[in-house]
Amino acid sequence: MAHPDATGEEHAVQPIQLLAPDGTLAEHEVYSPYISQLGEQDLRDLYRLMATERRMDAEATSLQRQGQLALWVPALGQEAAQAGTVSALRSTDMIFPTYREHVMALHRGIRPDELIQLFRATAHSGWNPHDHAMNTYMVVLGAQTLHAVGWAMGIQRDVAAGGTDQGHGADELVLACLGDGASSQGDVHESMVFASSYELPVLYFIQNNHWAISVPASTQSRGPLADRAAGYGFEGVQVDGNDVLASYAVAAHLGGQVRQGGPKLIESITYRMGAHTTADDPSKYRSSEEVESWKAKDPIERYRRWLQAAGHADETYFSEVDQEAADVAADLRRAVQELEPLPLEEAMDAVYAEPHRQVETDKSWLKEYEAGFAEDGAPARGEGGAR
């Protein structure tokens, strides 16, 4: 099966697909064995993760529409690409995400109230990257691919020094996430040069969701992004990103090779069914026919059909998941209402590790200035939160 890109042209490369949109599973010599190793619980967990994130995502979109969030970045349609890939990693493999990896964040135990702080604009990040082996979201496109490669340079040196002092295994890998738009950034190119030259354990994960805001993937590249890897001296594979089983198997297979040293690249062919962010209107730049054609390839529906048909899950299970997802959405809504903005003083204290004269001066000035309002009989500004 070939995936038409946004211009309607067919890619020459055939993305790896195991699970067809109609829910039938095909055999693949290399990749099927990875699926047969998954137990029933693993198979169900993949569904739970996708369905829960989709529900939370819808809630966040509503919250933005109600003015509760500054912005939301929907992952609608990309659940399988992320769920399959993250499930193939070890919990100690560091992830360097973009700003859309909500499925991965949930999988890594990042709570809705932590995830939402960036979008609620109460803090720039709500979690400690070291606690979840997942870096903070990255707003500057492609910058994180270099950080991922540097992290991998650290792994390489830790291993050479006789082990790691962070409790990680010797055959750790790093997942460098990016989108089709970011693939045009110079940092991505530089990161691939470093990763290849130093034979670093980096798994590149491009979610080609076909649109960089309003610019189609064909403007980023006239050929498959997977083919770019060859130009740097390593392998790239295209996978059907709406097929959670293929996404899992390809990440497991290539990840295993990356652990032995040297980068690999996955181009996950998927589709962003919603807007780029809640700030844009996709109907202005793409046809409803295109969107409809991708709805027919929905990653969650497809997987649900197969789970049912193969007898891995029944209606009771799906109802349970729906309830859990509703609970997560409720948690998110509650968190949004309860979150307090980070006091400006704390943000000032975090700029430098060691005292800095100008920050100290600014901080004292602010304190005195705001105290002046209290002396006039009004409560001091900055106290009790700004909202």
Partner 1 sequence: MNHGQARRADSHPASPRSSRHGSRGGRAAESTPASPDVAVPPGEEETADHGADTGEQPAPPRELVLAKAINAALRDELTEDAKTLLIGEDIGALGGVFRVTEGLQKEFGPQRVVDSPLAESGIIGTSIGMAMRGYRPVVEIQFDGFVFPAFNQITTQLAKIRSRTLGKVAAPLTIRLPYGGSIGSIEHHSESPEALFAHTAGLRVITPSNAHDAYWMTRQAIRCDDPVIILEPKRRYWLKGLVDFSTPAQDAFTAQVVREGTDATIACYGPLVPVALAAAQVAAEDGRSIEVVDVRSISPLDDETIARSAAKTQRLVVAHEAPTFGGFGAEIAARVGERAHHRLAAPVLRVGGFHMPYPPSQQEHRYLPDIDRMLEAVDRSFSYPRR
Span from 59-67, 84-92, 105-113, 123-131 in contact with partner 1 (CB under 8 A): 123-131
Span from 85-93, 117-125, 206-214, 280-288 in contact with partner 1 (CB under 8 A): 117-125
Tokens 């055999």 identify what position? 27
Q: HEC string of 325-353?
A: HHHHHHHHHHHHHHCCCCCHHHHHHCCCC
Residues 73-92 that bind partner 1 (CB under 8 A): none
Residue partners of 9: CB distance under 8 A and separation at least 6: 218
Tokens 């933005």 identify what position? 64
Residue partners of 197: CB distance under 8 A and separation at least 6: none
Question: Taking the complex as a whole, how short is the minimal distance between the CB of residue 327 and partner 1, in angstroms?
Answer: 28
Q: What Rg, from alpha-carbon coordinates, does the chain have? A: 22
Span from 64-72, 77-85, 347-355, 374-382 in contact with partner 1 (CB under 8 A): 347-355
**Backbone torsions φ then ψ of 164, nearest 5 degrees:** -110, 155
CA distance 370 to 192: 50
CA distance 4 to 168: 41
Question: Taking the complex as a whole, how short is the minimal distance between the CB of residue 217 and partner 1, in angstroms?
Answer: 23
Span from 100-108, 273-281, 292-300, 341-349 in contact with partner 1 (CB under 8 A): 341-349
H or E stretch at 266? strand 264-269
β-pair partners for 211: 216
Nearer to partner 1, 190 or 370 (CB): 190
Residue of 6, 88, 104, 123 interacting with partner 1 (CB under 8 A): 123
Q: Does 354 bind partner 1 (CB under 8 A)?
A: yes
Tokens 């649900």 identify what position? 304
Q: What share of the chain is helix, strand, coil (3-state, %, to 5)?
A: 50, 10, 40
Pairing relation of β-strands 202-208 and 174-179?
A: parallel
Nearer to partner 1, 326 or 344 (CB): 344
Question: Taking the complex as a whole, how short is the minimal distance between the CB of residue 163 and partner 1, in angstroms?
Answer: 13
Question: Taking the complex as a whole, how short is the minimal distance between the CB of residue 80 and partner 1, in angstroms?
Answer: 28
Q: Does 277 bind partner 1 (CB under 8 A)?
A: no
375 C-beta neighbours (distance < 10 Å), count: 8
Q: Does 357 bind partner 1 (CB under 8 A)?
A: yes
CA distance 369 to 373: 7
Tokens 């403007």 identify what position? 219
Residue of 25, 215, 342, 366 interacting with partner 1 (CB under 8 A): 342
DSSP 170-183: TT--EEEEEETTGG
Q: Does 345 bind partner 1 (CB under 8 A)?
A: no
Q: Does 366 bind partner 1 (CB under 8 A)?
A: no
Q: With CB under 8 A, what is the number of residues at the site for partner 1?
A: 48
Span from 2-10, 59-67, 124-132, 246-254 in contact with partner 1 (CB under 8 A): 124-132
β-pair partners for 37: none
Residues 186-205 that bind partner 1 (CB under 8 A): 186-187, 190-191, 193-194, 197
Question: Taking the complex as a whole, how short is the minimal distance between the CB of residue 139 and partner 1, in angstroms?
Answer: 8
Span from 66-74, 182-190, 277-285, 379-387 in contact with partner 1 (CB under 8 A): 182-190
Q: Does 9 bind partner 1 (CB under 8 A)?
A: no
Report yes or no: 268 and 225 within 8 Å, Cβ to Cβ. Answer: no
Q: Does 106 bind partner 1 (CB under 8 A)?
A: no
Q: Cα angle vertex 185, ends 17, 287, to 5°? A: 55
Residue of 346, 364, 365, 369 interacting with partner 1 (CB under 8 A): 346
Nearer to partner 1, 146 or 380 (CB): 146
Question: Taking the complex as a whole, how short is the minimal distance between the CB of residue 197 and partner 1, in angstroms?
Answer: 6
Residues 133-162 that bind partner 1 (CB under 8 A): 135-136, 140, 143, 145-158, 160-161
CA distance 69 to 60: 8
Site residues (CB under 8 A) for partner 1? 123-125, 128-130, 135-136, 140, 143, 145-158, 160-161, 165-166, 186-187, 190-191, 193-194, 197, 342, 346-347, 349-354, 356-359
